[in-house]
């Protein structure tokens, strides 16, 4: 391992890449890139500034540039396409698989997208890409692969096999587990399984062995729908049709899996306060600062709101200064308990194990757990307080506050994601701050008001 | 939507399921289950206690039980298999696809696993399952599908096609994009693409058209290796061989994708303090409490450590009670900033954009960002303090502390995941608590020691 690393260090291929760009040595550039695995290429690119990355892509021939963009993190590829001249970007997009080109355009700024589309040689393709990138990325229209093998109802099994054979190259990059039978107007009529084709006399008509009125999805079907269909049936891929029933693409089980994984990544980033998609340290510093502040800004306000509770009880604090030690502990521990409940609710929503209206179930399941865990944590923290200050009343106040606040936190943490889901707000994004603010306020209030209740015993 | 929900409510199929179990009405049970989609089945099961779930699985015939377990969350299926009598569990496992059976056994407690294996009719299968479940779930051996189509070097193209045809049923549930050519001893010799088979005269020998010395992976290859191979090459599936080069299974691109997605889910749960895999609210309350406390316990200790810093500065607090209001804000805001850095580091590690030794890069990239964001946040919070108390020195202390602590937090947050990765500790699991403790301690210390420095100006 260590050796590999040092060796890499020795190489530092990204420096050579930059040199090639500076000396506009296109041949050398492709040579270095070809000598690297996709992983190494991605790593090398991540070591360069946006300008340097753009320079490399500009210098490569469109096909090679397209290959490179395909292996980069999407956000990085998009930044590059926005950075380079639209006419060059257009040539590259023409080389990309249509789906991926559309994915990039979807993420680009409106102006850059239009500039790029205007440069495409084929206006039809431009319209098509515009249309395609208009679908949400996780709908059937956004996820579908538009290259598929389709044949007319008149074709014979022999015709199909011969065509598949002669055009083997052309089909090699698509999933030909199935081939499709369409009417003259392109309306989907049936599906043929390659296996059946192989085992049928070649003079038979495809219509005889096709699966008529096959399962299909509509371009506008959303991710939830796709996830369910592929979960319920063992399809490898499904035909995608437009409003008129015309076959426009194929969505595969694999691409839906990838989308699921992308959604989970997004959840994780959002829950950690990273907005606007992936952040890579190769991105411009100001962009990174801005996007992180977009999350921190609201949080500082919420924190001030919560802390105002403390300000309102300064007199109590003044007389029992030890409380200041426990305020952060109570609020942080409750936050932890609440976050666990949030995570479980988000998972149960994802797995379809809970419906957005089942608050009662949450209250019951989390309430019981909160009471138990709250007791345990309250007793632990209370004992610490007692040992430290030798004051059982202090122990009672601190322990009691943590107990009560733990119950509150798991209830809020469990319910908030359901509420947000109903409001069509991303639970992973908003649950944390809402939870923390509530639990902080409540925690501070409990500690300080309980304390003021027993103030005579504490000071 | 609402209607659908109410309708569901009306149904409450899980109650009927329980009734069937109580009246041990097997026929009725299967009938109800068949009337539900997998999503509805999973939802219904999630509404029942472990005993009720076990009762249902026990009453079903093994094949149906196996089908049901396959669609349940793994953790739930495992609990059920541990709950029911081993002889029944064994019959069910015999009905499961080998890979899934092994996945379940891997998660079961040692004793239950052995009890179950002892009940298998075929001791060979028992040994095989024991061996299979010994592989880590995310290695080639753990992910491979053991049903594949293989033929001897003597076979002709015709033989293969005929066999595929006659055994179509048998092959229907496996990926027959490729078929494999093996020696008499089962050593992998080559790979045949179905497409090539179709287009070759049937009397040719498979050896003529097979891809000789094909790409393959070893049973013990880990997830990282698999992820890279499938990233670097467009394989749909790869043959898996054991130490002797014998073909033992096939690992597909899809199954590797699924594993990636599972890893991301695990990251998210760990980062949220959910240990030991999925927690579902249908699990026994005590188990849920215990697992959550396993995470909260260490956290309360860490919190006490951090708070001890406050205890050490009580005198300062006493003279400037307002500080108590800002202590939680400074520590919480720094925690947020640090968590963003953690998330970015974990993502960059996953995407292979950063190596576990590149601390300098983190320090540079996060340091710059921390200085800028720290300034912004420090000025905001400082101004609030000034407005509230009309004391510029307080503003300076609070703002300065938040500025410095933000820089510290993003540095720690950025570096800790790399350190943990090197130490082979799950970054998603441990980064949070380590970060929070450090940033809390440092935040409290900064606020209170800065304050004691300017104590004359503050009180």
Look up the ipTM and state it.
0.82
Q: Which residue has the higher pLDDT, B350 or A362?
A: A362
* Other Cβ atoms closer than 10 A to A458: 20
Domain boundary among A107, A134, A161: A134
Which range has the top average pLDDT, A168-172, A176-180, B252-256, B444-448?
Answer: B444-448
pLDDT band at A7 (very low <50, low <70, confident <90, very high): very low
Q: Which residues of B141-151 are buried (b: 16+ CB within 10 A; e: fewer)?
A: bbbbbbebbbb
Is B224 within a domain?
yes
Spatial distance between the Cα atoms of B191 and B207, rounded to a whole number of angstroms: 9
Question: Which of A269, A348, A381 has its CB closest to that of B343?
Answer: A269
Contact with chain A for residue B7, Cβ under 8 A = no
Contacts of A131 (CB under 8 A, 6+ apart): none
Q: What mean pLDDT do residues B214-229 have?
A: 90
Flag if A343 and B274 touch (Cβ within 8 Å): yes
Q: How many whole angstroms separate alpha carbon A282 and alpha carbon B58?
A: 56
Q: Mark A238-252 as b/e (b = at least 16 C-beta within 10 Å).
A: bbbbeeebebbbbbb
* B105 within 8 A of B82, measured Cβ to Cβ: no
Among candidate residues B243, B270, B297, the one where a domain is terminated: B270
CA distances from A168 to A48, A206, A412 (A): 39, 19, 58
Q: Please report, for the domain that includes residue A405, its CATH number.
A: 1.10.357.20
Domain boundary among A216, A246, A270: A270
CB contacts under 8 A, A 363-382 vs B, are: 365-366, 368-369, 372-373, 376-377, 380-381
Q: To which H or E segment does residue A231 belong?
A: helix A223-232
Give CA–CA dist A395/A381, Å, rounded: 8
Q: Are residues A161 and A240 in the same domain?
A: yes
- Helix (H) and strand (E) counts for chain A? 25, 7
Determine the average pLDDT of the residues in B171-189: 81
Q: Are B240 and B251 in contact (CB under 8 A)?
A: yes
**Chain centroid to CA B74:** 11
pLDDT (mean) for B26-37: 91
More confident: B322 or B258: B322
Q: Give mean pLDDT, residues A326-348.
A: 93
pLDDT in tens, A185-210: 999 999 988 778 877 788 889 998 89
Report the gap between the CA of B298 and the closest CA in chain A (Å): 11
Contact A273 B343 (CB under 8 A): yes
B263 in Cβ contact with B269 (< 8 Å): no
> Does B169 reach chain A within 8 Å, measured CB to CB?
no
Instruction: Give dist(CA B264, CA A266) in Å, integer.
Output: 10
- Per-residue pLDDT of A292-322, as tens digits, reads 999 999 999 999 999 999 999 999 998 899 9
Residue A8 reports pLDDT greater than 70: no
pLDDT at A430: 87
Most distant CA pair in chain B: distance in Å? 99
Domain that holds residue B394: 285-458
Residue A112, SS3? helix
Among residues 171-190 of chain A, which lie with CB inside 8 Å of chain B? 171-173, 176-177
pTM for this predicted structure: 0.80
Task: Convert the pLDDT of each residue in A259-272 to its tens digit.
Answer: 887 887 888 888 88
| pLDDT of B10 over the 60 cut | no
Same domain as A108, residue A60: yes
Judged by average pLDDT, the poorest of A83-92, A94-103, B319-328 is A94-103
pLDDT at A175: 61
- Total domains in chain B come to 3
A258 and A314 assigned to the same domain: no
Mean pLDDT of A388-412: 95
Question: What pLDDT is attached to residue B6?
Answer: 44
User: Does residue A430 sit in the same domain as residue A292?
Assistant: yes
State what percent of residues in chain B have pLDDT above 70: 96
Is B264 in Cβ contact with A265 (below 8 Å)?
A: yes
A248 and A328 housed in the same domain:
no
Position A172 confidence tier, pLDDT thresholds 50, 70, 90:
low
Is there a single domain that holds both residue B174 and residue B213?
yes
Does the pLDDT value for residue A113 go beyond 60? yes
Selected residue with higher pLDDT from A428 and B251: B251
Sort strands B178-182 and B150-152 into parallel, antiparallel or unpaired.
parallel
Name the average pLDDT for chain B. Answer: 89
pLDDT at A1 > cutoff 50: no
Q: Which residue of A has its CA nearest to B71?
A: A231
Model confidence at B151, in pLDDT bands (50, 70, 90)?
very high
B161 and B302 together in one domain: no
């Amino acid at each position: 391992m260590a050796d590999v690393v040092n060796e890499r260090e020795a190489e530092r291929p990204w420096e050579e890449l930059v040199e090639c760009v500076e000396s506009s040595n296109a041949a050398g550039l492709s040579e270095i890139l070809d000598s690297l695995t996709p992983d190494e290429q991605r790593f090398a690119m991540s070591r360069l500034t946006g300008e340097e990355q753009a320079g490399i892509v500009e210098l490569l021939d469109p096909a090679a540039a397209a290959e490179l963009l395909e292996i980069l993190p999407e956000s990085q590829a998009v930044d590059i396409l926005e950075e380079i001249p639209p006419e060059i970007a257009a040539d590259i997009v023409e080389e990309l698989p249509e789906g991926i080109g559309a994915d990039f355009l979807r993420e680009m700024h409106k102006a850059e997208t239009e500039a790029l589309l205007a440069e495409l040689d084929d206006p039809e393709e431009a319209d098509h890409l515009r249309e395609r990138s208009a679908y949400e990325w996780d709908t059937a229209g956004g996820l579908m692969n538009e290259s598929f093998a389709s044949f007319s109802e008149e074709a014979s099994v022999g015709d199909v096999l011969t065509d598949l054979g002669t055009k083997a190259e052309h089909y090699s990059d698509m999933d030909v587990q199935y081939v499709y039978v369409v009417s003259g107007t392109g309306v989907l009529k049936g599906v043929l399984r390659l296996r059946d084709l192989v085992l049928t006399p070649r003079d038979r008509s495809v219509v005889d062995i096709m699966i008529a009125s096959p399962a299909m999805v509509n371009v506008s079907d959303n991710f939830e729908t796709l996830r369910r269909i592929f979960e319920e049936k063992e399809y490898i891929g499904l035909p995608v049709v437009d409003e008129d029933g015309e076959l426009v693409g194929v969505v595969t089980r694999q691409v839906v899996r990838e989308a699921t994984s992308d959604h989970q990544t997004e959840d994780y980033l959002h829950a950690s306060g990273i907005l606007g998609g992936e952040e890579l340290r190769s991105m411009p510093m100001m962009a990174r600062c801005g996007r992180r502040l977009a999350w921190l800004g609201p949080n500082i306000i919420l924190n001030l709101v919560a802390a105002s509770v403390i300000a309102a009880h300064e007199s109590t604090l003044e007389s029992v200064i030890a409380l200041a030690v426990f305020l952060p502990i109570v609020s942080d521990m409750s936050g932890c308990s609440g976050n666990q409940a949030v995570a479980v609710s988000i998972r149960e929503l994802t797995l379809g194990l809970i419906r957005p209206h089942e608050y009662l179930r949450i209250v019951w399941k989390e309430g019981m757990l909160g009471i138990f865990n709250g007791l345990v944590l309250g007793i632990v923290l209370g004992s610490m307080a007692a040992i430290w200050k030798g004051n059982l009343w202090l122990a009672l106040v601190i322990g009691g506050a943590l107990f009560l606040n733990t119950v509150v936190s798991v209830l809020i943490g469990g319910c908030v994601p359901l509420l947000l889901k109903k409001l069509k707000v991303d639970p992973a994004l908003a649950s944390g701050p809402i939870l923390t603010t509530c639990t902080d306020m409540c925690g501070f209030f409990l500690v300080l008001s309980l304390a003021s209740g027993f103030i005579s015993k504490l000071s």
